[in-house]
Amino acid sequence: MNSLKYVFQGYLEAFQLIERAKLKKYYFLPGIISIGVFICFYFISTYISFSFYDFIGKILKLQEYTSLAKILVKILVGIIGFLMYFLLYKSITLIILSPFLSYISEKTECYYLNKEFTFSMKDNLRFILRGALLGFRSLIVEILGLIIALFLGFIPIVNIGTPLFLFLFQSYFTGASLVDYTLERRKLDYKDSYRFMGKHYVFTTLNGIFFTILLLIPVVGFFVAPLISTVGGTLSTIKLMENTKK
């Protein structure tokens, strides 16, 4: 319950802090980049979906199936294509935006705690590399999770829970990217950061859920999801760490 409380508090306060700290100007750039990535991966995912359908058709010999069976396979391939598309789009967007979002996270903490961080150019480059590596690692693990989910999708009864599993699974790794912006400034290395997020996996997943929900808002989501989630994730992580010390 504490995890839910900290995340809710963080995201509710995010709107006020964005206004007070004059961060509204940072809605624009992430939104433009998100739209650009969205368009690129839309065409890629469409090509992959058609190719995957042809591949499945040859293996299963769909020409011998009834029209209903072909429709069901098309629907399944469409769902798979959407999930793969959304996964790649979200992950690549976070990787590209990681230097920018890390900066916003730092600005948020400076304003919230009324303190300044003195990082060298080397530190900032290390933060950028760390964010990109974490994003790539998350992408690889999420793709593996998607492959496993695809196999589970063909198992009766089990396949009912597959969409929920995928949603929570990808939300955890999305949240991990958002939470790590704060942890890196606390000098936590990779192992300590993963250990912290693993210990507070509900908290990490909730941050990812909020980002995903915001991102799914038509058009507006491109602009609001990166900034609000970064500020909200930073505030909620600070609250969690402060209360964990007590």
- Cα-atom radius of gyration of the chain, to the nearest Å? 20
Say what the pLDDT of residue 42 is. Answer: 75
Average pLDDT score over the chain: 82
The pLDDT tens digits for 74-111 are 666 667 667 777 877 888 889 889 888 988 998 999 99
The arithmetic mean of pLDDT across residues 140-160, rounded, is 74
The pLDDT tens digits for 49-74 are 666 656 656 665 656 555 666 666 66
Question: Structural domain boundaries of the chain?
Answer: 2-38+92-111+120-241
Model confidence at 229, pLDDT cuts 50, 70, 90, reads: very high
- Greater model confidence, 45 or 14: 14
